[in-house]
Amino acid sequence: MRDPANHHSFLRVAVQAGLTAGLSAALSGCAGPLSTLAPSGPAAASIAGLWWVMLAGSAVLFALVFVLFVMVIRRPGWGSGVSPARWIVLGGLVLPAVILIPLICYALFAGERLLPLPGHAPARIDAIAKQWSWTFRYPDQGGMETQNVLHLPAGTPVDIVVTSEDVVHAFWIPRFAGKIDAIPGHATRLRVQANQPGQYEGLCNQFCGLGHAGMHFTVIVDRPEDFSAAVKEAAATGEVKK
């Protein structure tokens, strides 16, 4: 006959191991140059906030279901007085809705804040993807270009107009904003803002061929007063980084 004490001990160890593994996986992306959970701009901060809210909501929902599971294990026959139809309605509809509806509302609110809504038109930079490199053109700086190096002014919103010369790529600077596709013959727009001067990393997030793994670029955020000079110097020297 199975020892209840050993059974409960095994259950406790299994739960602890699962929680540890889940927490490790959740926190593995909290640091590093490509971390979405170390935001350096308002759009990225909104995305990171949404991630944490979703994580908290899923944890609450998991805890509620887990409590029901423990009650059934520890007290056989518990809940048998509730009809199957009521279990389906309460456990399958009401319980998730209590958590999911507020999460959906928050997600819609956070997503609305990420849109480049009409109004004051910020500075524009064109990002042109091509296997397996990036060209950045600065229309407001006389159309100068840099290769695999994107210069941005700190504290200033910039519209990145993204397109491709060959196949579908994806433009992504994880610490500034979400990703957006680079589609041949079509221009997509992503509004980004960097909070602090420094060096960051961006990449293509859409498999685009055998050289996809090396299709990344450097992002240099300059002080606003240094931005024009930095772009001019980079274009003149043919600054290229990979």
What tens digit of pLDDT does each residue of 95-108 get? 888 888 988 888 88
Residue 242's pLDDT band, with cuts at 50, 70 and 90, is very low
Domain(s) of CATH 2.60.40.420: residues in the chain: 123-237
Per-residue pLDDT at 67 exceeds 60: yes
Give mean pLDDT, residues 2-19. 53
Q: What is the reported pLDDT for 212? A: 92
State the sign of the Cα–Cα–Cα–Cα dihedral 204, 200, 133, 28: negative
182 band by pLDDT with thresholds 50, 70 and 90: very high
The neighbouring-strand residues paired with 136 are: 127, 146
Half-sphere exposure in the Cβ direction for 172 (13 Å, CA): 17
Query: Which of helix, strand or coil describes residue 171?
Result: strand
Per-residue pLDDT tens digits for 109-132: 887 777 766 666 688 999 999 999
Q: What phi and psi values does residue 193 have, to the nearest 5 degrees?
A: -150, 130
Q: Report residue 241's pLDDT band, with 50, 70 and 90 as the boundaries.
A: low
Question: Do 136 and 127 meet the contact criterion of CB atoms below 8 Å apart?
Answer: yes
pLDDT above 70: percentage of residues in the chain = 82
Spatial separation of the C-alpha atoms in residues 147 and 143, rounded to whole Å:
13
d(CA 61, CA 70): 14
CB atoms within 10 A of CB 188: 16
Say what the pTM is: 0.74
Q: Find the radius of gyration of the CA atoms of the chain.
A: 24
- The 10s digit of each residue's pLDDT in 187-237 is 999 999 999 999 999 999 989 989 999 999 999 999 999 999 999 988 887
pLDDT of residue 13: 56
Helix (H, G, I), strand (E, B) or coil at 173: coil
CATH code of the domain made up of 123-237: 2.60.40.420
Number of other residues whose CB lies within 10 A of the CB of residue 125: 22
Phi-psi region of 149 (alpha: psi -120 to 50; beta: other; left: phi over 0): beta
Q: State the pLDDT confidence band at 71, using cuts at 50, 70 and 90.
A: confident
pLDDT-wise least confident of 33-47, 132-146, 174-188: 33-47
Q: How high is the mean pLDDT of the chain? A: 83
- Judge whether residue 18 has pLDDT over 70: no
Residue 103, token pair as written in the block: 């999460």
